[in-house]
A and B are shown apart, each in its own frame.
Chain A
C-alpha cells in the first residue's frame, strides 16, 4: 500500500527529543488506502449486546464495485489539507490515525478519488474516512485491526459502518464502532438489482433523526437476528432475503420509501429472495439467489421494468459471487 519515495516529515513523538543522538525516529511515506461503498443494509435495528443492554446495530450490504481511493502525502507540521477541499472528516480521521500510531503534529495532503455518489445511503463519507485511515496507516508503515479502524472512524465522524469488515458478516453497532456479533461467515451468494427511490436530490444521511423503535419492533429484531445468523451459517440467500424484507418493512415506519409495496410485489413476481433498503438513505435493492438458474434473465427483466417505472440509478451487482457481474 506504500508508494512513492520516503518523504521526511512528521516524527514519532516519543523518543525524539532525548538528546542522546540515538533517536528512534520513524519517517512517514506516501500512503494509499481504499474503502468500498455499501448499498444500505440487510438488517438494521436495536439489538441486545453482551452487556444485556440494547444497542443500535446493522448488517451492511457491501458494494465492492464503487470505492474511495485516498492518498496521503506527508508534508510539514501544519494542517492536513484535502483535495477536494471540503473533506474535513477524512482529514480528521487521518490525523487521529497518525496520532494513534504515535505521530504528532503531522501535516500533509490528502487526495480523495471516489466514484461513490454522495447523499443516497451508499456510505460515501464513511468510505472516505476509512480509506483515509488506511492511507495514514500505510504512510506510517503500520497495519490496523478492523476494530481499530472502526473506532477511529467513529471518533472522526460520530458513526461508522461495517465496511471495514469487507466480506465478513457482522452485526455492527454503527454509533459505537464495534461488533455486537460475529456471524462467522461470508455473505450468502447474492445478485442485487439496486436503485434509488424518491427524489434524486442527495440528503444529509448523518443528520437524519434516529428511529425510535417500539417494544414490538425491538423484540422482532431478535427474531430477525436469529434468522440472519441461520441464513449466514447455511449460506441461504432465500432466508437472508426474508430478513432484509422484514427489516425494510419496519424501516417503512421510520423513513418510508415511496412505492415500497409496489417494489416488493415486483420482487415477488420476478422470483427474488427479498428487498433491502438503506435505512438512512434513498436506496432500495432487490435480492436474488446468485446460484439459481435463470438469475441473469430475471435480474435483467426486473432492471428493465424498474427503469420503465421511472426509478433512477439502477445498478446490478453481486455479493460473494465468482467473476465480474456489473452492468
Chain B
C-alpha cells in the first residue's frame, strides 16, 4: 500500500440529504469504492493479493472505475474486461488514463456478453495465476464492506424502519440491510430492479437502464432478506433523476433516480416510518445521455408521464421501459418464489 490515500475516503463517504421529514438519502460520489477498497485490503491482509500485484475483474461500470482509482493510487496492475455495448468511450478513456488495461468484447446484439467476458477473464487468470479476482458478485467481502455505510446511518439517523436500494450485485442492499437488521429486526428492505433483469425472476433481455439489474444471479443477493421488489423502467428512472436535481440540487445517476422514486413513494405511504435510500453515484458520467435533451428526445416514449405510484403485481412479469411495478416478495428464497410463479 502506498499509504497517504485517505482522500479516497471522500468518494466512498455519503452525504446524508433529508429529502422529506421521514426520508434520508445517502448520496455517494462513488459508492463502489467502498467494496473495492474493502475487498482489496482483505485480500492483501490474508495473502490472496500481494502489494502491487495483478488484479483482474469483469465489469462495465463504476466497480471497474473504483478498482482503477485504487490501482492508480496504490500501484496495482489492473486488467478490466467489458463489452462494447456496456462501456462508452468516455469511461474507457478514463479507465485507461488511470492505468488500467481494458479488454472490450464485441457484442453486436447488445447482450452484455456475460459468458464471453468470463471466458476472457479466465484466460487472464490462467495466464497469470497470482492474479486476484475480486468477484464482486460472489465475494462475501462485498457485503461486509457496507458495515461502514450502516455505521454512518446509525450514527447520524439512529432508528431506521425501511431501507431502499438498487440491486446489481446485491452487496449494498443486503450488506447494509443485514447490519441494520441486527439492531432493527423489523427493518423493511426494498430492492430496486429493472425490467428484463433476471435478479427477481424476469427473463433476460435488453435493458436501457444500466448500473442495476443483472443477467446472472449473484450470490451476494440474498432474496430471503427482501420484503418487496420494484421494477423501475428506464424512463421513470431518468425522470426521477431529473427531479432530484431540480428539486434538491442533487446531481445523481439514473439508478439513484430509480431508488429515489421508490423511496419517496414508500415514505409518502408510511409517514410515521423513517426511510433511508442509497444513491450510488453522481450524474457526471451521464451528462451526454440522461442529462442531454437531444439524447432523451430520441428515446421511444420520452417524455414520460411520471407515475405517482407503482402498479402492484401479483405475479412476476416484465413490462415496458415506461412502467414501474412492484411485488410483495415477503423474504422468500428465490427458488420458492420463482417455482411458485411457474406453478411447479
B147 at the interface (CB under 8 A from A): yes
Segment 205-246 of B: residues with Cβ below 8 Å from A: none
- Chain A residues near B182 (CB-CB < 8 A): 220, 223, 246, 249
Residue of A215, A218, A219 most packed against chain B (CB within 10 A): A219
Q: Which residue of chain B has its CB nearest to the CB of A229?
A: B155
Once A and B bind, how many residue pairs between them come within 8 Å at the CB atom?
58
Are B155 and A216 in contact, CB atoms less than 8 angstroms apart?
A: no
Residue of B144, B145, B152, B183 most packed against chain A (CB within 10 A): B183
Are B183 and A227 in contact, CB atoms less than 8 angstroms apart?
A: yes
Are A242 and B150 in contact, CB atoms less than 8 angstroms apart?
A: no
CA distance A227 to B151 in the complex (A): 7
Segment 223-241 of A: residues with Cβ below 8 Å from B: 223-227, 229-231, 234, 236, 238-239
CA distance A227 to B155 in the complex (A): 5
Residue of B42, B144, B145, B151 most packed against chain A (CB within 10 A): B151
B159 at the interface (CB under 8 A from A): yes
- Chain A residues near B159 (CB-CB < 8 A): 238-239, 242
Q: Which residue of chain B has its CB nearest to the CB of A250?
A: B182
Segment 120-162 of B: residues with Cβ below 8 Å from A: 141, 144-145, 147-148, 150-159
B11 at the interface (CB under 8 A from A): no
- Chain A residues near B156 (CB-CB < 8 A): 230
A243 at the interface (CB under 8 A from B): yes
- Chain A residues near B157 (CB-CB < 8 A): 230
CA distance A249 to B181 in the complex (A): 13
Distance (Å) between the CB of B150 and the closest chain A CB? 4
CA distance A234 to B154 in the complex (A): 12
Residue in A215, A236, A242 whose beta carbon sits within 8 Å of that of B144 in the complex:
A215
Q: Known contacts A230-B158, A231-B158, A234-B158; decide if A224 and B183 are in contact (CB<8 Å).
A: yes
Q: Which residue of chain A has its CB nearest to the CB of B159?
A: A239
- Chain B residues near A234 (CB-CB < 8 A): 158
B180 at the interface (CB under 8 A from A): yes
Are B151 and A242 in contact, CB atoms less than 8 angstroms apart?
A: no
Distance (Å) between the CB of A238 and the closest chain B CB? 8
A182 at the interface (CB under 8 A from B): no
CA distance A215 to B156 in the complex (A): 24
A307 at the interface (CB under 8 A from B): no
CA distance A105 to B153 in the complex (A): 54
CA distance A219 to B154 in the complex (A): 13
Are A226 and B144 in contact, CB atoms less than 8 angstroms apart?
A: no
Q: Known contacts A227-B155, A227-B158, A230-B154; decide if A242 and B147 are in contact (CB<8 Å).
A: no
Segment 162-184 of B: residues with Cβ below 8 Å from A: 179-180, 182-184
CA distance A202 to B180 in the complex (A): 36
Segment 1-57 of B: residues with Cβ below 8 Å from A: 42
Q: Known contacts A226-B154, A230-B154; decide if A216 and B183 are in contact (CB<8 Å).
A: no
- Chain B residues near A238 (CB-CB < 8 A): 159
Are B154 and A227 in contact, CB atoms less than 8 angstroms apart?
A: yes
Distance (Å) between the CB of B39 and the closest chain A CB? 12
Q: Which residue of chain A has its CB nearest to the CB of B182?
A: A246
Residue in A215, A219, A246 whose beta carbon sits within 8 Å of that of B183 in the complex:
A246
CA distance A234 to B156 in the complex (A): 11
- Chain A residues near B144 (CB-CB < 8 A): 215-216, 219
How many chain B residues touch A (Cβ–Cβ < 8 Å)?
A: 21
CA distance A229 to B155 in the complex (A): 6
Q: Which residue of chain B has its CB nearest to the CB of A249?
A: B182
CA distance A246 to B179 in the complex (A): 10
Are A226 and B42 in contact, CB atoms less than 8 angstroms apart?
A: no
- Chain B residues near A223 (CB-CB < 8 A): 147, 150-151, 154, 179-180, 182-183
A212 at the interface (CB under 8 A from B): no
Are B150 and A222 in contact, CB atoms less than 8 angstroms apart?
A: yes
Q: Known contacts A220-B179, A236-B158; decide if A226 and B184 are in contact (CB<8 Å).
A: no
- Chain A residues near B153 (CB-CB < 8 A): 226
Q: Known contacts A215-B42, A219-B147, A223-B150; decide if A243 and B155 are in contact (CB<8 Å).
A: no
CA distance A218 to B182 in the complex (A): 13
CA distance A227 to B135 in the complex (A): 31
Are B183 and A222 in contact, CB atoms less than 8 angstroms apart?
A: no
Are B183 and A230 in contact, CB atoms less than 8 angstroms apart?
A: no
- Chain B residues near A222 (CB-CB < 8 A): 147-148, 150-151
CA distance A243 to B179 in the complex (A): 12
Distance (Å) between the CB of B155 and the closest chain A CB? 4
Distance (Å) between the CB of B213 and the closest chain A CB? 26
Q: Which residue of chain B has its CB nearest to the CB of A224?
A: B183
CA distance A219 to B145 in the complex (A): 8
- Chain B residues near A246 (CB-CB < 8 A): 182-183
Are A243 and B183 in contact, CB atoms less than 8 angstroms apart?
A: yes
CA distance A218 to B156 in the complex (A): 20
CA distance A241 to B261 in the complex (A): 33
- Chain B residues near A216 (CB-CB < 8 A): 144
Distance (Å) between the CB of B123 and the closest chain A CB? 31
Are B151 and A225 in contact, CB atoms less than 8 angstroms apart?
A: yes
CA distance A249 to B159 in the complex (A): 19
CA distance A231 to B157 in the complex (A): 10
- Chain B residues near A243 (CB-CB < 8 A): 183
Query: Could you mark each residue 207-222 of chain A with 1 if its beta carbon is under 8 Å from any beta carbon of chain B, else 0?
Result: 0000000011011101
Segment 255-289 of B: residues with Cβ below 8 Å from A: none
- Chain A residues near B155 (CB-CB < 8 A): 225-227, 229-230
- Chain B residues near A226 (CB-CB < 8 A): 150-155
- Chain A residues near B180 (CB-CB < 8 A): 223
9 shortest interchain CB distances as A-B pairs: A219-B147, A226-B155, A227-B154, A226-B154, A226-B151, A222-B151, A223-B150, A230-B158, A223-B179
Which B residues contact A (CB, under 8 angstroms)?
A: 42, 141, 144-145, 147-148, 150-159, 179-180, 182-184
* 10 extra A-B contacts, CB within 8 A, seeds A222-B151, A230-B155: A215-B144, A219-B147, A219-B179, A222-B148, A224-B183, A226-B150, A226-B152, A230-B158, A234-B158, A243-B183
CB-defined A-B contacts under 8 Å, sample of 17: A215-B42, A216-B144, A218-B147, A220-B179, A222-B147, A223-B179, A223-B183, A224-B154, A226-B151, A226-B152, A226-B155, A227-B154, A227-B155, A236-B158, A242-B159, A242-B184, A249-B182
